[in-house]
Amino acid sequence: MEKRTLVTIIGLAAFVCSACGASPTEPTANSFALRGIVTGYEGAVLEGATLEVLDGANRGTRVVTDAQGRYGFSDLAPGAFTMQASAVDYAPATKSITLTADTSVDFQLKVLLAQIAIVGDTTVMTFVGNSNGTFSAQGQALNTGVGCAADLTGTANLLDKDRILVATLLWSMPSNQILRPGDRYTFEFCCLTRDQATAVATFNASFRWATVHCP
């Protein structure tokens, strides 16, 4: 009786172990590499640009480009996500990526450029009387771009009601001043006689400036 009981227990143990060995294991998810080059103005490679995954399973993963503008992620989970490339003085760029194998994706960033425009109607100009009997004309320039401007200079053609040139005047912004996006600068043209100031009906202006790093 005792012998049969022992055989039964051993057989049951063998069955249980056999069942455990037959159960499948959980598959391990694959990972893939993502590499590329980041360039900027006129195709120049950008060192120190940041690449970051904005969403998906790899969210928050980031790397920085080397001296040749190259970046590389070596262990990203497969799937769809958004990648952003950013660098100082450049507008960030994003791309939608679906990673199913090792992949190469390049970015070209656009430089943040200033853009100068006249504020308001060019038929409206403010004249200020000077102590010597002359008049100065004033207007406003607005940086409508997404970069900062310096070394800003301008030329204005003042015209009468028949579009005949009354005067051409020049102005410049102080060399140490920087015009940020959305900033305005009041420029002044000097000097006009009373007759010239009275005759002016409209004007047109042109500008020169350098886009610089925003402090």
In CATH, the number for domain 116-212 is 2.60.40
pTM: 0.59
The answer to whether the CB of 122 falls within 8 A of the CB of 203 is yes
Using the structure block, give the residue that is written with the tokens 């070394």: 151
pLDDT in tens, the chain (215 residues): 444 443 333 343 444 444 444 444 343 458 999 999 999 988 999 999 999 999 999 999 999 999 999 999 999 999 999 999 999 889 899 999 999 999 999 999 998 999 999 887 766 678 888 899 999 888 889 999 989 999 999 998 999 999 999 999 898 999 999 999 999 999 888 889 999 999 998 888 899 999 888 88
* Structural contact between residues 28 and 43, judged by C-beta atoms closer than 8 angstroms: no
Tally of residues, the chain:
215
CA distance 39 to 20: 55
What is the domain partition of the chain in residue ranges?
32-111, 116-212
**How many other C-beta atoms lie within 10 A of the C-beta of residue 64?**
13
Amino acid at 48: G
Is-same-fold flag (32-111; 116-212)?
A: yes
CATH fold of the domain at 32-111: Immunoglobulin-like (2.60.40)
